[in-house]
Amino acid sequence: MSKHHQVLIIGGGTAGIMVASQMLKKNPKIDIGLFEPAKTHYYQPAWTLVGANTFDYDKTGRSMASVMPKGVTWYKEFVSNLDPANNKLSTKDGNDFTYDYLVVAPGLVMAPELVKGLTEAMDKGVVCSNYTDPKHTWEVLKNFKGGTALFTQPTTPIKCGGAPQKIMYLAEDHFVKSGVRKKTNVVFATPGSVIFGVKPIAKTLMEVIDRKDINIRFHHKLVEVDGEKQIAWYELAKDVEAGGYVVMSGDNEGKKLDESIQYNYKKVDAIKENGRFGIKFDMMHLAPPQAAPKFIKESPLANEGGWVSVSDKTLQSTKFDNVFGLGDAAQLPTAKTGAAIRKQVPVVVGNILHLIESNSLTKKEYNGYSSCPLVTGYGKMVLAEFTYGSVFAPDPKLKQFPLMISDSSVEHWRLWILKKYLLPYLYWNKMMKGIEV
């Protein structure tokens, strides 16, 4: 026998809880079932600060029961199969459910298996990640004695695209304080061609890179991690032989380094082998590859990349009118952040309530807004706010907050206060409770 709900929500993360709480605030009689097997709900944006020993990890989690909105039927089960043609889903426990409307917000999963050797190397020794174990990141930074500090990221979409470099700026600050900076090369290897896609933010970050004397290596696609030998192997996504430019100096004296590949070159222990480049590291922080959950990839809701296929503006499924997708699992051409979800939720809630009442969508549209609080050191931050097309677009609502500054594209201590104190407060006390901020 299957159970039926007016609205079913998959996921008890930021998106799922916010949709449920906002929906109930607007219509307390709505019948909602929510699937979430986790016992703890984490405020993950603070994990960057945990990795740099400036936020208590235990304070980033609260019991799922404490954030679950009153009036929601909570199923502590994993969804395993979606059958949207029949308005039906199944769980791993073998239970079937039907719905009038479905909200798909399961988040994404870490996929270290997409890089050879990474599963074995993750969160062990000198390989760390704020995405999986920020406490281990701090242990690695604390014990680092100098050498090559490598920071890197994958080619897949990831949560908060700026996070792999935030910890680098904090680490560099820490290395200065701990006295190891003078015998350290800080290297940022990225598959991208720019430090950040939003121009005013990129300008500020390149100034930070210059000030901190960091070597950036662009077009570097991470393909293998040798945890034992401490080598990260890359393929270059750009032809480096053209025009006599090179990636590594050494045997190629007299040839110029291509600054679009190597900015602020530092001579680190590097190897060229079989067309790949290996960087020997003494510590490495990375964002592991990330992917949509398996049950999403295998469902009729997915696009070719495995993400939930939705309209950029309405967040309605491109295949089923009574299904909506948002958050990290949705295929949207913007950054996967909690700030993006803050703007996506009212669109989904408004559309479903309007469909229930009048069988039509509202005029509310999501413009691609996302923001990335880019911590550039202890006590310093830039706030990258942007819409579709990577257009710098500060949110007028945020401007009203105490401590906000007129230009959030420049570094400021007030923005650090926003990140460390105000945003967590707003998250737990407003966003989780269905209050639009």
Query: If you average pLDDT over residues 105-120, what whole number do you get?
Result: 98
Helix, strand, coil % in the chain, rounded to nearest 5: 30, 30, 40
**pLDDT tier for residue 28 given thresholds of 50, 70 and 90:** very high
Looking at the domain assignment, is residue 66 inside a domain?
A: yes
pLDDT tens for each residue of 410-422: 999 999 999 999 9
Q: How many domains does the chain have?
A: 2
Shared domain for 161 and 246, answered yes or no, is: yes
164 and 44 part of one domain: no
Residue 244 has what pLDDT? 44
Instruction: Report the mean per-residue pLDDT for the chain.
Output: 94
| DSSP secondary structure of 227-256 | TTTTEEEEEESS--SGGG-BSS-STTTTSP
Q: Are residues 299 and 272 in the same domain?
A: no
Q: Please identify every residue annotated as catalytic.
A: 160, 372
Q: Are 146 and 180 in contact (CB under 8 A)?
A: yes
Neighbours of 300 (CB within 10 A): 13
pLDDT at 166: 98
214 and 263 in contact (C-beta within 8 Å)? no
CB atoms within 10 A of CB 270: 18
- In whole angstroms, give the CA distance from residue 106 to residue 111: 15
pTM of the model: 0.95
The total number of residues written for the chain in this structure: 437
Would you say residue 427 lies in a domain? Answer: no
Percent of the chain whose pLDDT exceeds 70: 95
Q: Of 267, 286, 305, which residue constitutes the final position of a domain?
A: 286
Same domain as 80, residue 135: no
Looking at the domain assignment, is residue 23 inside a domain? yes
Cα 174 from Cα 171, distance rounded (Å): 5
Place 291 in a pLDDT band, splitting at 50, 70 and 90.
very high
**Is 133 among the domain residues?**
yes
CA 308 – CA 206 distance, rounded (Å): 34
Q: Is residue 154 part of a domain?
A: yes
Answer yes or no: do 93 and 151 share one domain.
no
Beta carbons of 167 and 48 less than 8 angstroms apart? yes
Residue span of the structural domain in which 151 resides: 112-286
Residue 414 lies in a domain: no
**What CATH number corresponds to the domain at position 271?**
3.50.50.60
Q: pLDDT tens digit string along 215-249?
A: 999 999 999 999 999 999 999 987 655 444 455 54
Chain CA centroid to CA 237, Å = 23
421 contacts: CB under 8 Å, gap ≥ 6? none
* In-domain check, residue 321: yes
| Residue pLDDT, tens place only, 322-360 | 999 999 999 999 999 999 999 999 999 999 999 999 999
